[in-house]
Amino acid sequence: MTKSKKSYRDIFSKIGSLLALLILCVILTIATPSFFTINNCMNILRQTAINGLISAGMLVALITGGIDLSVGANAVLCGCVMGALVNRHHVTNSFVLIFAALAVGILVGLVNGLLLTKLHLPHPFVSTMGMRLVLTGLALLVVNSETVSGFPNGVTWLGSASIFSGNGFSGFPVAFILVILLFIVFHFLLEESALGRKIFCVGGNPEAARLSGINSDNVLISVYAISGFMCAIAGIVLVGRTGVANPASAMDSYDNDAIAACIIGGASFMGGKGTISGTMIGALLLAVIRNGLTLLQISSDVQYIVIGIVIIGAVCIDVYRGRAEEKARRKATVQA
Amino acid sequence: MSDYFVELKNITKRFPGVTALKNMSLQIKPGEIRGLIGENGAGKSTLIKILTGVYKADEGEIYANSEKMEFKSPSDAKMAGIACVYQELNIVKLLSITDNIFMGSTVNKKRTALLDYAYMDKKSRELMHLLGHDVNPQKACGTFGMGIQQMVEIARALVLNAKLIIMDEPTSSLGEKEIQQLFSTIRKLKKQGVAILFVSHKLEELFELCDTVTVMRDGEHVFTDDIKNITSDRLIKSMVGHQLNDQFPKVKTECTTEALHAEHLKEFGVLNDISFTAYHGEILGFAGLVGAGRTETFRAIFGADRLDGGEIVVNGKKAKIRSPKDAIKYRIAFLTEDRSTQGLIQKSTVRTNLILASMKKFQKGPWLDNSLITKTANDNVKSLSIKTAGLDIPVGGLSGGNKQKVVIGKWINTDADIYVFDEPTRGIDVGAKVEVYNIMNQLVQEGKCVIMISSELPEILGMSDRVIVMRSGRIMAEINSGDEHFNQEDIMRAAWGGTLQ
């Protein structure tokens, strides 16, 4: 009796967010005929791509018990650096541009990691928040506060291209294929690699990890470098999607969306928890809500409110889940 | 109406697996300074927590001022006039002395919602003056030394009109001068009719300060007597008791080559010139009171804390150990005393915890070799008889004994040569204890070196081939198992600062 009850709860906590996503889709399908069309679905995937990429990086930071608030600014900076290279230095080779963006993203991540570990900061909240402002300033600086365009096709392809299009089908977005591929890599990184295991260990109990001979500093630096790498990819996709690099968008709420996707997907601010598949569901859920509300012609003010409530709800679920697990653990200890 | 301010009658408190207090009774008169001593784990802390309303007794009654009390929370105990100054001070260093003294009992200006700082500052100044310190109560607490911070805690008790102040090892972090100030304060309080329950690990302090002393052992009351009728020998004998234990499956092994040698280890304020040698094929016990520096010695050797001087030699070679990672390379294993916060990652699975310290061994390039991990983990579960529902359940769900076995497995997988067990059987049941002892036996039979830090003397005597006794960051004595001093009383004497003939 108790056993089956427990496993029900277990399953629910695992697929809860997936269930929420499905129910939401059913409701929107009934509410508006324009929702469940193949082209709208492709649209949602296109809208999920950027947040999905950033969320994957955010997830590893959250698993270590940290956070990366510089993600959005980092992504936009990577785009602006490419823009500056195109417009000021007339670089037209796509490989060089993409390489430059990746280098900037990873470098920013390394700085975040070094600030956290070498200064012995208790938590990366303030340091990455500071970096967010620094990066925003840099993004404005490199392009003289102007929105720049004129990127070569090799750069924009990633964010704008679709495959199998034709006959009224808008095509499957290449950006989302990239998301799927990178998420598979992340899955193996987190579940099957030694670094992944160390990331969970450092997040679950840094002191025990250290006393077991794990070099937590190196693990943390890698984590923020990974986050920076994902930001760079997101920055390239963003340039492709919009065709421009707009430094003013560096202050947009990319970090909020990414954190929300991770938390909805089962990650915890306390660290030590989170899956990449859950994060994917979280990112999709957010995109579906935005898309659905737009289709229902609900104005953006209400959209903000709804998304805000969803995020608060997800955090409440996180806290509740933590308490329930703690209780179950205590019970198990007493029984044994 | 009795003479006593507080009276405990037949208090019993049980925890899963242990009875912490058995039929304990205690009476304290107003203005009495009562010493309370006992070995580690004798039940002193539990008693304090019952008196202060942190725990609820399973059986027995508490009277304060001859009134039967039921403490549902610490604030109930405070209302009844019982306050406690804990070893770790509860001071907010950034707030002023006044703020700290009136924390939780602030006074408002009449008929307003504003705080009456004029009154509170004046009162704080008076209280601190009464306690022998003329300080500016508006200054932040953190700017003063430990001695004054402790007085602030005492003042907080006085503001609440406490009639009994419990002091849990109040002198442990104070200098000689501050201790004398504290004692004169306590005597002043006594004159005002405040009773003091003084818990200490230092016998000389009891003789200097207390009127009466209560000795506890194994959660029970041994005796309470006037200090005039007590000698330090009597105290030590009664703390130790005379129960014999044959729960120790000691096996005879051959002590061979030198494994670990420490030379003049120093850590300022913590360790003082520690030198010793541990050999392969022996169990070397480290005895002493809590805070004697045993754990600190091995944290430093293991690279978890920095040493300020000294040399470590492993297997005859000078070792450079800067981090636990280095120590593992020298094949040292350190089973920390607090398993849940230092030894294990509770949320992670049994499988992950078992490979935590030896991940490199299970790697194929960047990936983990899951089949090898499963095989090793299954071997661990079988050879250590870890009771778990599977390898993939979080280790936090296991019982204390099984958690400890997972920690042991984690270190066995590093192929360590020197095993440091810090309080290996704390909080685990008797059956599991014997299993842990058997694992230690097996390790020494394989010719490895086992060092066991333990606060349980029967365990030290039952399992060690040799014992080193520490006190206040120094080594006090080294006793072989064949030696005439290899008994509880002599070890306790050394741990309490006495000398052995």
What CATH number is given to the structural domain containing A152? 1.10.3470
**What residues pair up with B59 in beta bridges, in sequence order?**
B12
Q: How far is CA B378 from CA A319, B154, B351, in A?
A: 34, 55, 9
Residue B374 contacts A, CB cutoff 8 Å: no
Q: What is the pLDDT of residue B17?
A: 63
In a mutagenesis test of the A interface, which of B18, B325, B344, B348 is the best target, namely the one with the most A β-carbons within 10 Å? B348
**A120 close contact with B: CB closer than 8 A:** no
**B259 vs B109, B197, B250, B330, CA distance in Å?**
69, 46, 21, 11
For residues B3 and A8, the model is more confident at: B3
**Calpha distance A323→A326 (Å, rounded):** 5
Take residue B219 and report the two structure tokens written for it. 């959660």
**What is the SS3 string spanning B427-473?**
CCCHHHHHHHHHHHHHHHHCCCEEEEECCCHHHHHHHCCEEEEEECC
Q: Give contacts of B323 with chain A, Cβ < 8 Å.
A: 210, 213, 215
Does residue A196 fall inside a structural domain? yes
Q: Please, are residues B182 and B20 in contact by the beta-carbon 8 Å criterion?
A: no
pLDDT band at A336 (very low <50, low <70, confident <90, very high): very low
Percent pLDDT > 70 in chain A is 92
What does the pLDDT look like over A287-318, one tens digit per residue?
999 999 999 999 889 988 988 898 788 778 77
Interchain contact B324–A (C-beta under 8 A): yes
- Between A and B, how many CB-CB pairs are < 8 A? 94
Tell me A256's DSSP state.
Answer: H
Written as six digits, the tokens of B406 are 């997972």
Amino acid letter for position A138: L
Q: Which residue has the higher pLDDT, B472 or A98?
A: A98
Judging by DSSP bridges, how do beta strands B6-15 and B18-28 pair with one another?
antiparallel
To the nearest whole Å, the CA of B396 is away from the closest chain A CA by 6
Read off the tokens for A103. 């280098």
CB contact, 8 Å: B442 with chain A? no
Residue of B nearest to A329 (CA): B397
Please check whether residue A3 lies inside any domain of the structure: no
pLDDT given for residue B132 in this prediction? 81
| DSSP assignments along A69-95, one per residue | TTHHHHHHHHHHHHHHHHHTS----HH
Query: What is the set of domains in chain B, with CATH numbers?
Result: 6-240 (3.40.50.300), 246-331+453-501 (3.40.50.300)
Task: Decide if A197 contacts A63 (C-beta within 8 A).
Answer: no
Positive or negative: CA dihedral A268, A274, A280, A285: negative
Q: Which residues of B274-295 are buried (b: 16+ CB within 10 A; e: fewer)?
A: bebebbbbbbbbbbbbbbbbbb
Helical axes A153-160 vs A94-118, angle rounded to 10°? 70
DSSP element (H, E) containing A323: helix A300-335
Domain hosting residue A313, numbered range: 21-335
In this prediction, the residues of chain B whose per-residue pLDDT falls under 50 are: 1, 244
Q: pLDDT digits over A13-52, tens only?
A: 567 778 888 999 999 999 988 898 999 999 999 999 999 9
Considering the entire predicted model, what is its pTM? 0.80
Task: Find out whether B342 and B422 touch, Cβ atoms under 8 Å.
Answer: no
Output A310-316 pairs: Cβ under 8 A, ≥24 positions apart: A310/A260, A310/A264, A310/A285, A310/A286, A311/A256, A311/A259, A311/A260, A311/A263, A314/A260, A314/A263, A314/A264, A314/A282, A315/A263, A315/A269
Enumerate residues 157 to 176 of chain B having a beta carbon within 8 A of any beta carbon in chain A. none
Overall number of domains in chain A: 1
pLDDT of residue B312: 96
Alpha-carbon span B106 to A151, nearest angstrom? 66
The pLDDT assigned to B112 comes to: 85
Q: What type of residue sits at position A44? A: I
The ipTM (two decimal places) reads 0.82
- Is A207 in the B-facing interface, judged by CB distances under 8 Å? yes
- Cβ distance of A213 and B325 shorter than 8 Å: yes
CB contact under 8 A, B325 and A215: yes
- DSSP bridge pairs for A163: A172
Does A68 reside within a domain?
yes
Say what the pLDDT of residue B296 is: 93
The pLDDT of residue B244 is 46
Cα distance between residue A212 and residue A221, in whole Å: 19
